[in-house]
Chain A
């Protein structure tokens, strides 16, 4: 059953000449699924979440959250969602408990219900023991957990997480990813943005790949990988005549695509075992020398490369 439906969503800042951050985006999320928006910085992921959070008003199109239009009935839509912003948005002078109590009131909780829920959330984020310490004394990972906890206070049906693992240690990242999987198991619908391919692959039921404000492709991990077929990702570091060599490789049978980046050539090949010796032969023919070779199986990085001609990390 569809819980969030995005239709032709568009955002242009400072119209008519300003940047179009999101350009005709459409997708849907079923209740209880984790949907990841994957894309490089500037792809439009945060702007999309901002519009779905009713923080930014769309320039065009609409989105429905639990049946409520973010344009027409933003208050009703906001009742159903919890938002975890990319940066820590807490009051550092207040303790974790004081922060949670304050934000709980902003979500309309009060009295015993508020106290009960604050206690539960402190348990979820595993900070009961240190609830009275000021946020400014917490580590980055602890702050991230409180940042997530705030969005859980009113038991939302959908949770938006905008790159919640940026800049934290691996242990804290693992902890946060585990918590997110628990939410999914409880039936919460989760919209997750990231530019970490591995996170999207591990967490997501479905993934939407964005770039320049547009949806390039969406589906399950397996479905997306099929876009690039069974081609392997071969990365070669070449010390000279790279352009000449790339031109030669593009004309070879068994090479689907060649992209050049500085001293590297990135190739998509259906069968690396057969093709690799021929790649070396061609290099020798143009008197180029291959210094390094990396072969990887098809993944989301390759999908993005295939769709945009650029690496995801760019």
Chain B
């Protein structure tokens, strides 16, 4: 047994002393996860940069018969945009004129401007509608911030249109009752104002803002970095396993494997040492990446037992497939090319490059023919809070892949080096 460990630790030592191996095993997955995480706002969520909006409110308001004053829905729109609910998404900058609002966008000072026309309230509160529409003036090169503003404005306008519908309904009802024109006008205004008041107060929940941010929530939704790093970790575990397994062929060509065969150490022990080194290298890689993800990106990987079992399972299947591939190939060059091709194909089919998101359809079916697809499914479940018992099926399927490939590889190697 000590000789198996001696071979395994020798391989670990040589692997972790090779800069290229370190890059492949650790730096590449961490760098990719960092870059993609930063591209989506970094850290543990889909946080989006705040968009600055230039707003010009030209609304002149409309007479509100109930209470006797005037109502300005442009101000209401402005209040919505300034609400604390949207403070993490939008910053409002009020400007004096439409021309100034447009020039702010043209000059690149803000990506988008909102122009509320003079007859906005009148149009909303009238039963017949019409009037000039609200304008969202956007920089075509910017997409995300203007889209958010457009969505918010659309929701508010929809509520205002609901007010107008309420006014129209009041007029229609009054006409059937045979009321005079003045009475109908008052009924329409009263109905629209009542609808608006109820909607803007939030009592009915008619205006609901959906915040796409998941920061500081209790949700178990995995963040971008976690999704990417888990996918990259599984992929690069396969690559690292192939690189270490290839050292069997490297050593054969370099003469150290034949020399090992001339020592009193049996061939079975020598090969067992090589297999152990593949497993331990990949395991060490996974543990380092998990720790790095936790320390650097605050990734919550989930239940420790589930994480431990998944890590061991992942290392086992990476080692199994790598040993199998190397057992059917003859030269290190062959092993490098073929292994890379196989693992990239597996990654494409299994979804390593699209994260751990739960997917359905044909892709969802295809990925289940790959061990990495099952692994990613289990990682996704674990990060969403699943325990070890909840991922039994993926664990067993992956273990099956590991045993089948490893067993075949060992048989082929024993025959080759008999």
Binding site for B on A (CB under 8 A): 50, 53-55, 75, 78-79, 81, 83, 85, 87-91, 93-94, 98, 102-103, 105-108, 110, 150, 154
**B88 touches A (CB below 8 Å):** no
Would you call A110 and B256 a contact (CB within 8 A)? no
B18–A110 touching, CB < 8 Å: no
Q: How far is the CB of A163 from chain B (nearest CB, A)?
A: 13
A87 contacts B255, C-beta separation under 8 Å: yes
Nearest CB of A to B262, in Å: 4
Q: A residues within 8 A CB of B2?
A: 105, 110
- Whether B264 is near chain A, meaning CB under 8 Å from some CB there, is yes
Q: Which residues of B contact A55 (CB under 8 A)?
A: 258, 261-262
Instruction: State whether A106 and B266 are in contact (beta carbons under 8 Å apart), knowing that A85-B259, A91-B14 are contacts in the complex.
Output: no
| Binary per-residue interface labels of chain B (242-269) against chain A in the complex, 1 for a CB within 8 Å, 0 otherwise | 0000000000001110111111111000
With A and B bound together, what is the CA distance between A106 and B2 in angstroms?
Answer: 9
**Contact partner, B258, options A89, A90, A150, Cβ 8 Å:** A89
Contacting residues, chain B, for A88 (C-beta < 8 A): 255
A154 to B265, CA, bound (A): 13
On chain B, the residues within 8 Å of A83 by CB distance are: 259, 262
In the complex, what residues of B have CB within 8 A of residue A81's CB? 262
CB distance from A135 to the nearest CB of B (A): 11
A120 vs chain B, min Cβ distance (A): 18
Contacting residues, chain B, for A75 (C-beta < 8 A): 264, 266
Give chain B residues whose Cβ lies under 8 Å from the Cβ of A50. 258
For A90, list chain B residues within 8 Å (CB): 256
Task: Determine the distance from Cα of A177 to Cα of B259 in the docked complex, in whole angstroms.
Answer: 22
Cα distance, A151 to B13, chains bound together (Å): 22
CB distance from B15 to the nearest CB of A (A): 9
Bound complex: CA A23 to CA B370 (Å): 51
Q: For residue B387, give the distance in angstroms from its CB to the closest CB of chain A.
A: 42
Subset of 18 A-B contacts with CB under 8 Å: A54-B261, A78-B262, A81-B262, A89-B254, A89-B255, A89-B256, A89-B258, A90-B256, A91-B256, A102-B6, A103-B263, A105-B2, A106-B3, A106-B263, A106-B265, A107-B264, A107-B265, A108-B3
Size of the chain B interface, CB-CB below 8 angstroms: 21
Shortest Cβ gap from B298 to chain A (Å): 35
Chain B residue at minimum C-beta to C-beta distance from A49: B262
New A-B pairs, 4, CB < 8 Å, besides A94-B10, A106-B264, A108-B265: A78-B263, A87-B254, A102-B10, A107-B263
Across the A-B interface, the 7 shortest Cβ-Cβ residue pairs: A89-B255, A89-B259, A105-B6, A106-B263, A83-B262, A53-B262, A93-B14
A53 to B258, CA, bound (A): 10
How far is B317's CA from A61's CA once the two chains are assembled, in angstroms? 44
Closest A-chain residue to B13, C-beta based?
A: A94
CB-based contact A106/B260 at 8 Å: yes
Give complex CA distance A83, B255 in Å: 12
Q: In the complex, A78 Cα to B17 Cα: how many Å? A: 32
Chain B binding surface SS class: helix
Report the minimum CB–CB distance from A159 to chain B (whole Å): 12
Query: For residue B266, which residues in chain A have a CB less than 8 angstroms away from its CB?
Result: 75
- Tell me, in angstroms, the Cα distance from A253 to B262 when the chains sit together: 54
Asked if B17 contacts A93 (CB within 8 A), the reply is: yes
Indicate which residue in A98, A102, A108 contacts B264 across the interface (CB closer than 8 Å): A108
Instruction: State which residues 3-41 of B face A: CB under 8 Å.
Output: 3, 6-7, 10, 13-14, 17-18
Q: Which of B3, B10, B258 lies in contact with A85, CB distance below 8 A?
A: B258
Smallest CB separation, A138 vs chain B (Å): 15
* Distance of A197 Cα from B255 Cα, bound (Å): 26
With both beta carbons as reference points, the residue of chain B lying nearest to A86 in the complex is identified as B255
Minimum distance in angstroms from A308 CB to a CB of chain B: 29
Report how far A50 CA is from B262 CA in the complex, Å.
9
| Contact of A106 with B14 in the complex, beta carbons under 8 Å | no
Give B280 Cβ to nearest chain A Cβ, in Å.
16
Known: A53-B262, A78-B262. A93 touches B3 (CB 8 A): no
How many angstroms from the CA of A102 to the CA of B258 in the assembled complex?
15
A83 to B10 alpha-carbon distance, docked (Å):
21
Q: How far is the CB of A214 from chain B (nearest CB, A)?
A: 24
- Shortest distance from the beta carbon of B386 to any chain A beta carbon, whole Å: 41
Q: Which residue, of B258, B262, B264, B266, has the highest number of chain A Cβ atoms within 10 A?
A: B262
What is the CA–CA distance of A105 and B263 in the complex, to the nearest angstrom? 10
User: Which of chain B's residues has its CB closest to A83's CB?
Assistant: B262
Instruction: List, in ascending order, chain B residues with CB within 8 A of A150's CB.
Output: 259
A190, chain B: closest CB distance, angstroms: 16
Question: Within the assembled complex, what's the spacing in Å between the Cα atoms of A88 and B6?
Answer: 21
A98–B265 CA distance with the chains assembled, in angstroms: 18
Within 8 A of A (CB), among B225-256: 254-256
Which residue of B has the minimal Cβ distance to A134? B17
Residues of chain A lying within 8 A (CB to CB) of residue B258: 50, 55, 85, 89
Q: B276 to chain A: closest CB distance in Å?
A: 14
Known A-B contacts A93-B18, A94-B10; the reply to A79 vs B3 at CB < 8 A is no
Q: How far is the CA of A130 from the CA of B10 in the complex (A)?
A: 20
Name the residue on A nearest B255 (C-beta). A89
- Give complex CA distance A102, B13 in Å: 11
Complex formed: what's the CA distance from A87 to B7 in Å? 21
Q: Which residues of B contact A102 (CB under 8 A)?
A: 6, 10
Q: How far is the CA of A50 from the CA of B13 in the complex (A)?
A: 29
State whether A54 touches B262 (Cβ < 8 A).
yes
Closest to B10 in A: A102
Q: Chain B contacts of A105 at CB under 8 A?
A: 2-3, 6
> For A54, what are the chain B residues with a Cβ–Cβ distance below 8 Å?
261-262
Which residues of B have CB within 8 Å of A89?
254-256, 258-259
A94 interface neighbour in B14, B261, B265, Cβ under 8 Å: B14
Chain A residue nearest in CB terms to B270: A106
Residue of B whose beta carbon sits closest to that of A105: B6
Shortest Cβ distance from A52 into chain B, in angstroms? 10
In Å, the complex CA distance between A111 and B22 comes to 31
A103 vs B6: C-alpha distance in the bound complex, in angstroms? Answer: 9
Is A91 a contact of B255 with CB atoms below 8 Å? no
| Closest residue on chain B to residue A150 by CB atoms | B259
Instruction: Give the CA-CA distance A88 to B254 in the complex, in Å.
Output: 8
Chain A residue numbers with a CB within 8 Å of B7 are 106
Task: Kindly list chain A residues whose C-beta atoms are within 8 Å of the C-beta of B13.
Answer: 93-94, 98
A54 and B268 alpha carbons, distance in the complex (Å) = 15
B263: chain A residues at CB < 8 Å are 78, 103, 106-107
Q: Which one of A53, A91, A108 lies within 8 Å of B10 (CB-CB)?
A: A91
Query: With the chains together, A108 CA to B266 CA distance in Å?
Result: 11
- Tell me the residues in window 348-375 of chain B with beta carbons closer than 8 Å to chain A beta carbons: none
> Could you say which residues of chain A place their CB within 8 Å of the CB of B17?
93
Cα A87 to Cα B18 with chains together (Å): 23
Q: How far is the CA of A180 from the CA of B275 in the complex (A)?
A: 37
The answer to whether B6 touches A106, judged by C-beta atoms less than 8 angstroms apart, is yes
